[in-house]
Amino acid sequence: MADVFSQLYIHLVFSPKNRLALIHPSWEERLHKYITGVIQARGHKLLAIGGMPDHIHIFVGLKPAEAIADLVKEIKNASNDFVKKEELSPAKFDWQNGYGTFSYSRSHIDAVCKYILNQKEHHRKKTFREEFLKLCDDFGIEIGKKDFFEWFA
């Protein structure tokens, strides 16, 4: 079989169910480390991970052998099980259906990593909804009637 040469940089964004602020700062780093392990075990390269109590951003160097949807499904399933097994959230924890995915060129890696790692500061000025709508607009993604988050209904 021939070797595959690829350069795929993917930014993922998703939220706990009903956009609840369930990712508590006291265990956020443990969740991020766990998700990092899931990504690396599947042969991808984690470039940055960060977020807020009501959403998460993950930036990966994607290996082309796996579909983005399969990776997101595994991240959500495995991390959801981790949160429940470790009893990290006092409330019922589940990830919301749907996600955002955005691709970047190599020249954008540093800027995207800084953006993701600086989420706490970024969200002092902009809500998650404003942020997500801007990402979609910047990438020419029409929201329409897609059921990504309740506020798009």
Instruction: Identify the pLDDT of residue 149.
Output: 57
Which burial class, exposed, middle or buried, applies to 140 when counting CB atoms under 10 A from its CB (0-12, 13-18, 19+)? exposed
pTM over 0.85: yes
Residue 51 domain-assigned (yes or no): yes
Residue 18 domain-assigned (yes or no): yes
Residue 4 domain-assigned (yes or no): no
Alpha helices (H) in the chain, listed in sequence order:
25-41, 68-85, 109-117, 119-122, 128-138
Beta sheet of 55-61, edge-to-edge order? 45-52, 55-61, 9-14, 100-104
- Does 60 have pLDDT greater than 90? yes
Domain of residue 78 covers: 9-152
CA 5 to chain centre: 25
Residue 25 belongs to a domain with what CATH number?
3.30.70.1290
Give me the amino acid identity at 97: N
- Does 28 have pLDDT greater than 60? yes
Residue 15 domain-assigned (yes or no): yes
Q: pLDDT (tens digit, 9 = 90+) per residue, 88-119? A: 999 999 999 889 999 999 999 999 999 999 98
Domain count within the chain: 1
Q: pLDDT (tens digit, 9 = 90+) per residue, 138-149? A: 888 887 655 555
Banded model confidence at residue 130, pLDDT cuts 50, 70, 90: confident
Residue 2 domain-assigned (yes or no): no
Residue 120 domain-assigned (yes or no): yes
Q: Taking residues 39-54, what's their average pLDDT?
A: 96
